[in-house]
Amino acid sequence: MWRLIRHSLSSLFAVCIGLSADAGTAPAVVPNGVILVKGAAPRSSDSVTPLPEEGKVADGRYSNAYFSLSYPIPAGWTEQPAGPPPSEGGSYVLTQFAFWDREQQRVRAQVLVTAQDLFFSASSAPSARELMASLRRGVVPQYEIERGAEEVTIAGRTFYRVAYGSPLVGLHWRVLSTDARCHALTFTLTGGDKAALDAAERAMGGISLPKESDAPLCVKGYAHDDNIVEKTEPYLATRRFNTIPVRVTIDGEGRVKHVHVLSAFPDQSDAIIAALRAWRLKPYLVDGKPAEIETGLVFGTLRAAARGSAAGSGRL
Amino acid sequence: MKLRITAVLTLSLLLFVSQAFSQSDPGIRGGPPGAGGPLPSVAADNPLTILKFFNDGQSRFQEVDSVKGTIAGEAGKGLGPRFNAMGCARCHAFPAVGGTSPSVNPQIVDAGADGAINLPPSFVTLSGPVREARFVFFTDPAGNPITSQPNGGVEDLFIIAGRSDAGPCTTSVISQPDFASAVAHNNVIFRIPTPLFGGGLVENIEETDLLSYQASVAGNSFGIAGTFNHNGNDGTIARFGWKAQNKSLEIFAGEAYNVEQGVSNELFTQEHPTPEEERSLGLPNPCKLNATPEDHTNFNVGSIATLSDAVQFAMFMRLLAPPDRSPDTPGGSASIGRGEEFFNKIGCETCHHNRFPSFSSSITPSLDTQKVNLYSDLEIHHMGSTLADNVSQGAAGGDQFRTAPLWGLGKRIFLLHDGRTPDLLKAIDQHSSPSSEANTAVLNFNSLLSTQKQDILNFLRSL
């Protein structure tokens, strides 16, 4: 009994003063608002090669080295909390901005920038154009189409635009998507304030997204058995039944130069990265000359969310 | 005097204006519980005798356990040595048996029942939610969390030591986990009971429908992309529990019986130790007071009594009707209708999905090809750092939770996985934080007029 009372008193004391009961030193405290125990998460084979999820905001612009994208944030708009990690279907929330009416504590409009890796898309859409056509079909009859799908040119790039809304809710959506490195790079503008939406769309004119870049060619489904010269299957010790989408860069000699695991548990990523380093493929030829390419693979349990790259992939 | 009247009038006017233009949670919907009864075909005893199974399961669900089953009013056998409460219905109580946390927390009474000498932890109070606790990380001897060693297992709040039926299981051989230290180190998280109404319908949604729905909303305009938790044995979709960690109602029942009440059973056959004991030498032998499993098939009796408690708990949950929703309360039918439209269009419905069919059922017609309006896609989603509990279960990481079914929300006192708030507005707000899939939907909610937000709140409390 005395042991219990003593334990309780010391515990009570610890709570009161916020210290551990031993030695009077400040306790190691688990921080609030930090995700320390992660589930499936992205991982790459080096820390230098840019990744889609690594964009950042500085000097009034959102910059993303992977896409060579620079996007000017409209004046008065603020960056919103970061989005979730890449999904097992290859979708990314890159960044988000909102225009708040602080006086009325109301959002006037927002911009969500996303990317869908077209190697892993659940829909069979092979391009931004098809994706927008699919979106247009999908929003009817829930919403009213206001315009599109149509082609527009922004900063010298072709975007596919769909505008729709809900008179009942009083919100409008303008969705603009373009192709970039076999991703559909999409800007979704939402809000009830048309002037704010116009301002956000005008700001897109200041986007920098070069057509030509040093990025490798993207080739869907290249890593199929006919093109693989040497292959070691990764050993995934624990069956977790998750889909693991992987982007690889293959150099001109057919070696795996870079691995980006979009979504996997750490032990799975370790095994996949280690195995892929030993792979050798036939060099991809452009005009008869070897070229560096990006392609996709799916490991783990194949589900609809990753069906896009299923054929001929190195899945287990 | 005149000045005072003017001041009062001005204050009243200000109050009126602010009430007229700001939305608020209507709170718990009044009236009868609208839940807790059997499915219609079960009430009609179709097939014959099924109602007896429901009634028997409901009765066992309300049974209070003691260690030996020999204390008056506590006929259930097998309590402890570690436990959170003395019976299922102690916690799954509101608005009816099978629900969730009641307004008066029974854990305070259970802590000291029959001579037990437990000290309720600071996070368990008489007016607070029923809580289960887990330590986020294992600790060093000083209680400092070791962040390379995730824990996440259930730390039962109470022990049987001191009870009149605890025999040699005294405080010299077993003690409560050091919750005060865990609180001081912010190393403890909480879960409240999930409501169980409509469990059989949830169990009978076909995987094809879940997977098809997931594929159909891929590429949505809200930045939402969830996944499923899977049963580790056969790889099929798991769907019960806050992180969808349990495959079936029977697994769910067996685990809860073992973990929450300390009753070993045919699904979880040994007594439940703390995670720390499990890493050491297990529970001390003087506290293993009954033959195992304590709950089992009863071979020497006939009829329904043959079945184990765990099987009958599952049957009770399976045959419970889904909760009623109100067509007009709160706020009137027009407001509720508008609220549902707003809810659907701003993105909430992408996860809180309302239109799954159940598969054909071999059990009873009310489970057979029915509409399941649960308002959940049963996927796990990243809910961000504000809601993260840093506990991993199956494929669900520290910030991933199953979309909580919203049916019955009008009759829930405590909200979110840990019961941190009774306020719907705060619960919605907490959906937004770094890494959350719900950020866009919450921004859309915050794009609405106050009257529109009120419609959504009315709709949610009509469920």
Grade residue A4 by pLDDT with cuts at 50, 70 and 90: very low
Per-domain boundaries in chain B: 40-195+253-319, 197-240+322-462
Of A34, A243, A303, Cβ closest to residue B385: A34
What DSSP letter does each residue of A82-129 carry, written as one string?
A: P-PPPPTT-EEEEEEEEEEETTTTEEEEEEEEEEEETTS-SS---SHH
Tokens 């149509």 locate to A150
Chain A 159-178, residues with CB within 8 Å of chain B CB atoms: 166, 168-171, 173, 175
Cβ distance B397 to A38 less than 8 Å, yes or no, reads yes
Q: How far is A240 from chain B (nearest CA, A)?
A: 6
Chain A residues lying within 8 Å of B123, measured CB to CB: none
Res. A174: pLDDT tops 50: yes
CA-CA distance, A25 to B143, in Å (whole number)? 12
A68 against A24, higher pLDDT: A68
- For an interface test with B, give the residue of A5, A15, A30, A194 to mutate (most B CBs within 10 A): A30
Residue A21 has a pLDDT of: 34
Cβ distance A28 to B446 less than 8 Å, yes or no, reads no
What is the mean predicted confidence (pLDDT) over A43-70?
A: 96
Provide the pairing of β-strand A289-291 with B132-135.
unpaired
Cβ distance B346 to A171 less than 8 Å, yes or no, reads yes
Do residues B57 and B315 touch, judged by C-beta distance below 8 A?
A: yes
pLDDT tens-digit series, residues A11-48: 443 333 333 334 445 569 999 999 999 999 999 999 99
Q: Which of A73, A106, A105, A63 is nearest to A192 (CA)?
A: A106
Grade residue A214 by pLDDT with cuts at 50, 70 and 90: confident
Chain A 286-315, residues with CB within 8 Å of chain B CB atoms: 301, 303-305
- CATH placement of domain B197-240+322-462: 1.10.760
Q: Which of B287, B76, B283, B55 is nearest to B162 (CA)?
A: B287
Residue A316 has a pLDDT of: 25
Chain B residues lying within 8 Å of A38, measured CB to CB: 392, 397-398
A80 to chain B, any CB pair closer than 8 A? The answer is: yes
Cβ distance A39 to B341 less than 8 Å, yes or no, reads no
Helix (H, G, I), strand (E, B) or coil at B18: helix
Complex confidence, ipTM: 0.91
The dihedral formed by the CA atoms of B128, B439, B222 and A160, expressed in degrees to the nearest 10? 180
- For chain B, the distance separating the N- and C-terminal CA atoms, rounded to the nearest angstrom, is 48
Grade residue A125 by pLDDT with cuts at 50, 70 and 90: confident
Cβ distance A305 to B399 less than 8 Å, yes or no, reads no
Res. A211: pLDDT tops 90: no
Helix (H, G, I), strand (E, B) or coil at A148: strand
Res. A221: pLDDT tops 70: yes
Do residues B413 and B248 touch, judged by C-beta distance below 8 A?
A: no
Query: Could you give the angle at which helices B309-319 and B50-61 cross, rounded to 10 degrees?
Result: 110
CA-CA distance, A112 to A83, in Å (whole number)? 10
Chain A residues lying within 8 Å of B185, measured CB to CB: 20, 27-30
The mean pLDDT value of chain A amounts to 88
Residues in chain B: 463
pTM, to two decimals: 0.92
pLDDT tens-digit series, residues B78-120: 999 999 999 999 999 999 999 999 999 999 999 999 999 999 9
Grade residue A200 by pLDDT with cuts at 50, 70 and 90: very high
Count the alpha carbons within 13 Å of B163 in the hemisphere toward its beta carbon. 31
pLDDT in tens, chain B (463 residues): 455 555 555 545 444 444 456 899 999 999 999 999 999 999 999 999 999 999 999 999 999 999 999 999 999 999 999 999 999 999 999 999 999 999 999 999 999 999 999 999 999 999 999 999 999 999 999 999 999 999 999 999 999 999 999 999 999 999 999 999 999 999 999 999 999 999 999 999 999 999 999 999 998 999 999 999 999 999 999 999 999 999 999 999 999 999 999 999 999 999 999 999 999 999 999 999 999 999 999 998 889 999 999 999 999 999 999 999 999 999 999 999 999 999 999 999 999 999 999 999 999 999 999 999 999 999 999 999 999 999 999 999 999 999 999 999 999 999 999 999 999 999 999 999 999 999 999 999 999 999 999 999 999 999 9
Residue A26 has a pLDDT of: 59
Cβ distance A21 to B181 less than 8 Å, yes or no, reads yes
- The distance from CA B378 to its chain's CA centroid, rounded to whole angstroms, is 14
The residue of chain B nearest to residue A186, with distances taken between CA atoms, is B221
Which domains, from first to last, does chain A contain?
A: 1-30 (no CATH), 50-206 (3.40.1000), 217-309 (3.30.2420)
Do residues A100 and A108 touch, judged by C-beta distance below 8 A?
A: yes
Task: Using a pLDDT cut of 90, give the percent of chain A over it.
Answer: 78
Q: Give CA separation, B398 vs A294, A304, B155, B280, B419, in Å.
A: 32, 25, 17, 25, 17
Residue A240 has a pLDDT of: 85
Residue B57 has a pLDDT of: 98
Q: Compute the 3-state secondary structure of chain A and give helix, strand, coil in percent, each to the nearest 5.
A: 20, 40, 40
Of A134, A241, A305, Cβ closest to residue B214: A305
Residue B5 has a pLDDT of: 54
